[in-house]
Structure 1
Amino acid sequence: MSTDFHPDFGLTAEDYTRHRAGFPPELVRRLVRLGVEVRERDAVDLGTGTGSLARLFAQAGARVTGIDPAAPLLDQARELDLEAGVEITYRVGTAEETGLPDAAFDVVSAGQCWQWFDAPKAAAEVWRLLRPEGHAVIAHFDWLPLPGNVVAATEHLISTYNPAWTMGRGTGLYPRWLTDLATAGFGSIETFSFDVDVPYTPKAWVGRIRASAGVGASLAQEEVGKFSAELEGILRDRFPDDVLRIPHRTWAVVATKPSTGR
Structure 2
Amino acid sequence: MQVDFGRTSSDYTQHRAGFPDAFFDRLSREGFLRPGLRALDVGTGTGTVARGLAQRGCAVTALDVSAPMLDAGRKLATDAGLNIDFREAPAEETGLPAGAFDLLTAGQCWHWFHRSAAAREAMRLLVPGGRIVIAHFDWICLRGNVAQATEELMSEFNPNPPAYEHFANGVGIYTQWLRDISDVGFTHLETCSFDVPVFYTPTAWKGRCRASAKVGASLPPAKVERFDAALARLLDERFPGDVLDIPHRVFILTATRP
Equivalent of 2:23 in 19, 22, 27: 27
In structure 1, distance between residues paired with 2:177 and 2:155: 25
Deviation at 1:101, TM superposition (A): 0.8
Deviation at 1:32, TM superposition (A): 2.6
Say which SS state the counterpart of residue 6 (structure 1) adopts.
coil
> Does 1:159 find its partner at 2:123?
no
Alignment map for 1:100-115 (pairs within 5 Å): 100-115=96-111
Equivalent of 1:69 in 65, 68, 76: 65
Deviation at 1:137, TM superposition (A): 0.4
Deviation at 1:216, TM superposition (A): 0.3
In structure 2, distance between residues paired with 1:157 and 1:43: 38
Match of residue 179 from structure 1: 179
Alignment map for 1:39-58 (pairs within 5 Å): 39-58=35-54
CA deviations on 1:225-261 (whole Å, 9 max, x unpaired) are: 0000000000000000201011111111000000xxx
Deviation at 1:38, TM superposition (A): 3.6
> Does 1:210 find its partner at 2:196?
no
Which is further off, 29-38 or 112-121? Answer: 29-38
CA deviations on 1:63-107 (whole Å, 9 max, x unpaired) are: 000000001011111111122221100000101011111100000
Q: Which amino acid aligns with 2:134?
A: I
Match of residue 98 from structure 1: 94
In structure 1, distance between residues paired with 2:248 and 2:151: 14
Deviation at 1:207, TM superposition (A): 0.5
In structure 2, distance between residues paired with 1:171 and 1:241: 26
Deviation at 1:194, TM superposition (A): 1.2
Q: Which amino acid aligns with 1:234?
A: L
In structure 1, distance between residues paired with 2:2 and 2:190: 30
Deviation at 1:35, TM superposition (A): 2.9
CA contact (8 A) 2:33 2:53 kept: no
Say which SS state the counterpart of residue 188 (structure 1) adopts.
strand
In structure 1, distance between residues paired with 2:145 and 2:196: 15
In structure 2, distance between residues paired with 1:159 and 1:141: 20
Deviation at 1:37, TM superposition (A): 2.6
Equivalent of 1:139 in 131, 135, 138: 135
> Does 1:17 find its partner at 2:20?
no
CA contact (8 A) 2:54 2:84 kept: yes
Q: Which amino acid aligns with 1:131?
A: V
> Does 1:197 find its partner at 2:162?
no
Gaps of 5+ in 2: none
In structure 2, distance between residues paired with 1:129 and 1:32: 21
Match of residue 234 from structure 1: 234
Say which SS state the counterpart of residue 7 (structure 2) adopts.
helix
CA contact (8 A) 2:202 2:243 kept: yes
Match of residue 82 from structure 1: 78
CA contact (8 A) 2:33 2:56 kept: no
Gaps of 5+ in 1: none
In the comparison of the two structures, how many residue pairs are matched? 254
The RMSD of aligned alpha carbons is 1.1
